[in-house]
Structure 1
Amino acid sequence: MGEADHLRHHPDVIPIYAKRKETIERVFADAKEKHGMRWITLRGLKKFSMQAMFTFAAINLKKMATWTWQGPNLQTGNPSI
């Protein structure tokens, strides 16, 4: 654990962690706040897995719709977020 903590503070890795905060962690925060993933509403692993799959599919569809409406970012070639 000490080695991982040491690497996290390395100058080459700090920008990667900053990017992670904007991309990956934001998805889970939105799922909890906007899509009801803070509490389980269905019983059973199979039903909960189905609910989670639909929730993240909806989040991905929203992202794709946003990218379609905004168009590609011409400077980097990446979709605008």
Structure 2
Amino acid sequence: MKELIETIVKPLVDFPDDVQVTVLEEDARITYQLSVNKNDMGKVIGKQGRVAKAIRTVVYAAASTSLQKKTYLEIKE
């Protein structure tokens, strides 16, 4: 899942080397924390959050078929 997030986000940003995905796993949930360069936040979020929503939709769909835990994606600076 980490590779999927990186594959989606890296072509969108100007600084692909700054893209990092951290995985926090708890009992009933997995949280993926996506951090990008400060200058790329607008590109990842998009107008009215449309790009972020699309990324989350793809990640949640992939996670629902492969994982039994609830999956979350947080976008951080």
Bigger Rg, structure 1 or 2: 1
Higher relative contact order (CA 8 A, sep 6+): 2
Higher helix share: 1
TM-score, normalized by length of structure 2? 0.36
Higher strand share: 2
TM-score, normalized by length of structure 1? 0.34
